[in-house]
Structure 1
Amino acid sequence: MTETRRWLWRTGLLVAVVGIAALLVVGPYSFSSATITGSKAIQRDSPCLPGTAVSILDSPHISPVRATSVRYDSVPPTSGPHFAATIATGVYPSPVPEGLTVHAMEHGHVVIQYAQNLPGDQIDALNSIARRYGADVVLAPYDKLDSGIALTAWGRIDHLDHYDGSRIATFVEGLRGRYIHGWTHSDDCSPNAAVKITAAPALSCGYSLAAIDGSCGAGSACGCCATCDDRSC
């Protein structure tokens, strides 16, 4: 074996070990890789939008170890430090680490989380609405909620005492894709709100591992959304 081949073999082994270690730390989720190292953005109150504005924190990539000391400014968080990996949209039966949900919101997704004691029929209704907006929503329980449901998008939050399909749909439709490593529109509330920012940062990511979203089939390989801009799945 030549020295070059030895180096390549060792490098590949190191990458594999690091990747496996990261998965063990984070948990059995369906991931989407990312190549941008976090973001900053100016504040937008945007009173025309559903929910309430939350101050946007600096949002660097951090390790799972550092995540234990992070203090967010809302519960659940709507911005701030997060993991380098993000999570694929879908329905998750157990809580998802905040470092993953924040990164999902940075990619333009809406995160719906609910208290563990939410009645089963309301959880079923949430599952249905999450699948209706399958390319835009992450749904999971959240340990820090004593009751009800929390809707979050980048810099935006709403709390519900109980399931309200119309209110949830309004939140998702009004806030999905609003921020993808930067504001995707020049304004939210003026007549120019529909003008898209053409210089949006390019992303390179794709879903991998086995999806646990029932819409894909437990344990199946979805392989959907080859790029972040592809919402066909």
Structure 2
Amino acid sequence: MSRFLWRAAAVGAIVAAVVALLVGPYRAQLVATAAGSRAPSRAAPCLPGTGVAIMDSPHISVARAASVRYNSDPPTSGPHFPFVAAVGIYTAPLPDGLTVHALEHGHVVIHYPPATAPATVRLLRDVQRRFPADTLLVPRPGLRSITLTAWGRIDRLPRYDEARIVRFVTALRGRYDHHWTRPDGC
């Protein structure tokens, strides 16, 4: 009899936890995490960078990622992996499926060409360390310039410009996290 009660209690606890997650404060995050995001584009000419149309952003497998075509390079929205890259400094390129998911969580990605001068990479690392909870710093083959991305926005810098990078990060970090989190700011 005690084995039955133990199993019933365990099943009851699991059911209660699932119900709490589905109706509690994490419901929106769980639903979005399971399905990816759909959001209308937001024209915001006062914000830094250039707006890019928001693509449907479902979760995809790593195998399917090879067939995805984004509407910007680097991408600012679109299909992505169901798991996300942590914020921080990367010394090797990341797949688009990871960086797009980071954008979907409100992070800003600072991309740089692998041939960027070491002194400039050090400056970019310093900027990332100023915003450790909000940014990823990633080398990206094929780029000709430092490029900043946030959900639905992109900015290509002709050269290192700390003030411009900080303005982009400050204005766009957390603006989108599976849905628009605040007005466009204009």
1:131 to 129, 132, 142: 129
- Pick the aligned partner of 1:179 from 172, 176, 182: 176
Hey, what's the Cα distance between the residues in 2 that align with 1:178 and 1:110? 10
Looking at structure 2, the residues matched to 108 and 95 of structure 1 have their Cα atoms a distance apart, in angstroms, of 20
Q: Does 1:188 align with 2:184?
A: yes
- Describe the SS at the equivalent of 2:110: strand
Shift of 1:60: 0.3
Contact kept? 1:122, 1:162, Cα under 8 Å: no
Deviation at 1:36, TM superposition (A): 3.4
Determine the structure 2 residue equivalent to 1:148.
145
- DSSP-derived class of the 2:73 partner: coil
1:163 aligns with 2:160: yes
Query: What secondary structure, in the 3-state scheme, does the structure 1 residue paired with 2:148 have?
Result: strand
Within the candidate set 34, 44, 59, 1:61 is matched to: 59
Q: Distance in 1 between matches of 2:38 and 2:142?
A: 26
Question: Matched residue of 1:70: which SS?
Answer: coil
Q: Structure 2 counterpart of 1:181, which letter?
A: H
TM-score by length of 2: 0.81
Secondary structure of 1:39 counterpart: coil
- SS of the residue corresponding to residue 34 of structure 2 reads coil
- Supply the distance in 2 between the matched residues of 1:87 and 1:36 (Cα, whole angstroms): 16
Q: Is the 8 A contact 1:151 1:157 kept in 2?
A: yes
Q: Which has the higher helix share?
A: 2
Q: Give the total of aligned pairs.
A: 155
Structure 2 residue 88 is the aligned partner of structure 1 residue 51: no
Contact 1:75-1:144 within 8 A present in 2 as well: no
| Cα distance in 2 for residues equivalent to 1:140 and 1:134 | 13
Give structure 2 stretches of 5+ with no counterpart: 1-31
Cα deviation for residue 161 of structure 1 reads: 1.8
> 2 CA distance for matches of 1:182 and 1:189?
15
2:104 to 98, 103, 106: 106
- Percent identical: 56
Query: Is contact 1:89–1:138 with CA below 8 Å preserved after alignment?
Result: yes
TM-score w.r.t. the length of structure 1 is 0.65
| C-alpha RMSD over aligned residues | 1.1
* One-letter code aligned to 1:178: R
Q: Distance in 2 between the 1:155 and 1:72 partners? A: 12
Q: Distance in 2 between matches of 1:73 and 1:66?
A: 17
Q: Deviations over 1:107-151 (max 9, x none)?
A: 000000000111111001001100110000011100131x22010
Q: Distance in 1 between matches of 2:88 and 2:33?
A: 21
Higher RCO, 1 or 2 (CA under 8 Å, sep at least 6)? 2
